[in-house]
Amino acid sequence: MSQQNIYDNDAFFESFQSSRNKEVNFNDCIETPILFAMLPDLHGKKILDIGCGMGQHAKQYSEMGAEYVLGIDISEKMLDYAQKHNNAENVAYQRMAMEDIGTINQQFDLVTSSLVFDYVEDFGGLMHKVYLLMKDDAEFVFSMSHPIVTAWDGAYDRYTRTETGERLYANLRNYCKEGIRKVDWVVNGYECYHRTVSTLINSLIKAGFVIEECQEAHISDDMRQQYPALFGGTIHRPEFIFFRCRKDN
């Protein structure tokens, strides 16, 4: 089973870091607010953050009252940044592929993940491993790229546009053909896995989760009008999908 580590590619890491350093970006303006609105009260909770990246969320969880946060990531570059810039006494970082979380000898009150499950080949298997790491009645809150987005295979334009470049509608092709997508995005040969919405839902159910909430990415009309070049396409398709699940005891 392949384990992608695109974030240790110098060009990709620098592009990602540059994007996150901008005041207006998809993560801070769309993804993080929705993800955080779905979180429970974190006071006294033991949290696992899968694919913690630069550690922003892990540090925020600490500041929001978490008792302990373990952030795991496969990228040395991401973890180096996290340990330098988002450290705290009750936050630990560990280099680990998400496929290997079954080796963690702990159980958690909350498991979170932000936009990394697109990189896992066996989504259903990973959901089963997450379930086993959770205490009874624990919660699981995560985001992924929306399947409408991951369906793109690079062979066609993402949008049909007017002659002046205005997006008319989002293009969708091969949505029902699941599997790996290899496209040129930031770097040549960027890889992710495409699955339908029903596959995501049924994988969670099969793992034993109760799905309590699902959200699709959204942003205000004001922000869309203020930054049309960045957010103009959000009226046509959601970039991300979010789930809040519970381990039923």
Task: Give the span between the Cα atoms of 3 and 182, in whole angstroms.
Answer: 14
- CATH code of 6-146+196-247, in short, is 3.40.50.150
Domain boundaries, the chain: 6-146+196-247
Write the burial class of residue 69 (CB in 10 Å: 0-12 exposed, 13-18 middle, 19+ buried). buried
Backbone angles phi, psi at 162, to 5 degrees: -75, 175
Task: Give the span between the Cα atoms of 134 and 115, in whole angstroms.
Answer: 20
**pLDDT per residue as tens digits for the range 137-176:** 999 999 999 999 999 988 889 999 999 999 999 999 999 9
Structure tokens given for 247: 């381990």
Under 8 Å between Cβ of 51 and 60: no
- pTM equals 0.90
pLDDT > 70 in the chain, percent: 88
Q: Does the pLDDT value for residue 247 go beyond 60?
A: yes
Helix (H) or strand (E) holding 16, with range, is helix 10-21
**pLDDT per residue as tens digits for the range 70-112:** 999 998 988 999 999 999 999 999 999 999 999 999 999 999 9
